[in-house]
Structure 1
């Protein structure tokens, strides 16, 4: 079975750019036989007025093929409640790595993501339980964690 992650959003191109950099993914090429995603969408009956301008790049893939594809599905409404599902970016190395080193790795990744357009929402800092992670929001306020 193959599967993909679908993220509802207002501006797919904005999130494609952010998440491509955040995950070190790349935009998924358009299907074989189509010069652009726009051409493909038109061929399957999506009205041109729903596509906006440009070539409609709204999908990402893992360049090494290990992770799932991601489709940024345009929807008309803005995000209104907390996500029921979120992405965890594991960069700390796990509990076998000393907490100060994990914290430094996590904070470095958080700084990189903030430069890309993420916003820090808070941190879970619990040295007694050897735990540290940071919760962020992407440019459309979808929550995710770095740990």
Structure 2
């Protein structure tokens, strides 16, 4: 048996509430509703895939801005132009043997975007 198992994915953000809203719109996720009621807005925000297919995503508040390249990132399947219209920016366009775009969310967190017509 492995000593650990994957639980959740966490993303740090200076404005975690705005980032939670952005990722909800981008992924079609929803904010988790806790059984004991709403959480303090200063606490991390838990996002869920309403279909249950995707992993949970925590958006954690941090005081510092992002300053270096992510060592771990999210991969998404989505239309590049729609992601850009939603507020993403291009970090590295597809090409040079890369079949995906490297984009960034509004706070600069990188993610790879794969074209839905080509993603398996």
Question: Same-fold call, TM > 0.5?
Answer: yes
Give the 4+ runs in structure 1 shifted more than 3 A: none
Report if the CA contact (8 A) 1:14-1:139 is conserved: no
Structure 2 equivalent of residue 63 of structure 1: 50
Is 1:26 paired with 2:37? no
Report 1:1-147 matches (<5 A): 3-29=7-33, 31-34=34-37, 36-38=38-40, 51=42, 58-91=45-78, 109-126=79-96, 132-147=99-114
Distance (whole Å) between structure 1 residues aligned to residue 17 and residue 94 of structure 2: 31
Structure with greater proportional helix content: 1
SS, match of residue 14 in structure 1: helix
Structure 1 equivalent of residue 118 of structure 2: none
Instruction: Supply the RMSD in Å over aligned alpha carbons.
Output: 2.0
1:2 CA drift (Å): 6.3
Structure 2 equivalent of residue 102 of structure 1: none
Unpaired runs of 5+ in structure 1?
42-50, 92-108
Distance (whole Å) between structure 1 residues aligned to residue 44 and residue 7 of structure 2: 19
SS, match of residue 82 in structure 1: coil
Report if the CA contact (8 A) 1:27-1:57 is conserved: no
1:77 CA drift (Å): 0.8
TM-score scaled by structure 2?
Answer: 0.81
SS, match of residue 146 in structure 1: strand
Unpaired runs of 5+ in structure 2?
115-120
Report if the CA contact (8 A) 2:44-2:60 is conserved: no
Aligned residues: 110
Report if the CA contact (8 A) 2:13-2:61 is conserved: yes
